[in-house]
Amino acid sequence: MLKYTKVELELISDIDVLMFVERGIRGGLSQCSIKYSKANNKYLNDRYNPNESENYLIYLDINNLYGLAMSQYLPYGGFKWLNVTTEITNFILHDVKSDSDRGYLLEVDLEYPRNIHDLHNHLPLCAEHKCPPGSKQKKLLATLESKSRYVIHYRNLQQCVKLGMLLRKVHRILEFKQSAWLKNYIDLNTRLRTQATNEFERNQYKLINNAVFGKTMENIRKHRVVKFVKRWHGRYGAEHYISQPNFHSSVIFNNNTVAIEMNKTEILFNKPIYVGMCILDVSKIFLYRFHYDYMLQKFGHQNCYLLYTDTDSLIYNIQHNDIYETIKRDSHMFDTSGYAEDNIFGISRLNKKGSPQKQHNHTR
């Protein structure tokens, strides 16, 4: 990737910047909003009850979500804190374009107004790591609570404000240089994946793109040092490691083999985690855009219920007389290439998955 793009990624040497970026890393959202739902429509044949309202259960998956996010403008260096008294005071959020040569990460306080709680109930904005009620393990939760000192990408913040959240305070702003330096590489692999003639090649080019994202997200703090030893005494024996202050734990396999885990005494931060953090944040823009700007606008929040979401997947219960007619009318929004030629819904096969021109589409 580095050879093809010829980009030079700056490694963070400022501990404040590093910890600031780490606080903004939030993975894909997985949640169940409604536990049970049952379909009732004319395509169910003998299970259809005409005396009840029609509704459809539909499973949608965003095509190439991370590929699309990686094709956006991403940071590559030039990190700088904005001055509180001058630059932050004069900072105008909505003046910053998505293709600006300067991007921003902001630490803000956000208020979730009660008047939009019903509309946002199934997919709240600004997920955060918190302990669920009755649990001691932190999870990524999407809640309708206000956010304090929340680290967020400027494009996500623009979307949040547009959808009704109130920006109450800006604590800090980190500026960086950005460009679409990864787009050509992603488009190359996406094009090769489309041209692939077998499943192995298709998975290979998908993996190449995902591997780039994975390396930008690699958590160095979770690396472990494990020693396998076969003797007790000596410099590299079990006694030596167990007596060290950074000894963590051990597992005995048999009379002659033991695995000893040691805590790391130093950490070398040599991964561009700011790229991964921005990819994760930007990817959520497209998820929220589809839900709020298309689904809720199309069907209304009282007729469109989000049952479940997992990173790039959405399961809906839609009260409608024929959802397939909507798919046919809005064919630019959906990947229907998986349908049979003579399907009973009369849907044309369009927008094949993996096409670079159709990265924004959704598939059933």
Tens-digit pLDDT string for the chain (364 aa): 989 999 999 999 999 999 999 999 999 999 999 999 999 999 998 899 999 999 999 999 998 899 999 999 999 999 999 998 899 999 999 999 999 999 999 999 999 999 999 999 999 999 999 999 999 999 999 999 999 999 999 999 999 999 999 999 999 999 999 999 999 999 999 899 888 889 999 899 989 999 999 999 999 999 999 999 999 999 899 999 999 999 999 999 998 999 999 999 999 999 999 999 999 999 999 999 999 999 999 999 999 999 999 999 999 999 999 999 999 899 888 888 888 888 878 788 777 665 543 444 444 4
State the DSSP code for 46. Answer: G
275 near 75, Cβ under 8 Å?
yes
pLDDT, residue 361, reads: 43
pLDDT, residue 341, reads: 82
In the structure encoding, which two tokens stand for residue 303, read together? 């007729």
pLDDT, residue 352, reads: 66
pLDDT, residue 364, reads: 42
The CA-based dihedral angle spanning residues 219, 158, 148, 222, taken in that order and rounded to the nearest 10 degrees: 0
Cα-based angle 296, 297, 302 (whole degrees, multiple of 5): 45
What would the 3-class secondary structure string for 136-196 be?
CCCEEECCCCCEEEEEEEHHHHHHHHHCCCEEEEEEEEEEEEEECCCHHHHHHHHHHHHHC
pLDDT, residue 349, reads: 79
pLDDT, residue 336, reads: 85
In the structure encoding, which two tokens stand for residue 91, read together? 């900072």
3-state secondary structure of 4: helix
Domain ranges of the chain: 2-183+271-363, 224-262
Please name which of 340, 308, 284, 324 lies closest in space to residue 66, comparing C-alpha atoms.
Answer: 284
Residue 312: is it exposed, middle or buried by C-beta count within 10 angstroms (0-12/13-18/19+)? Answer: buried
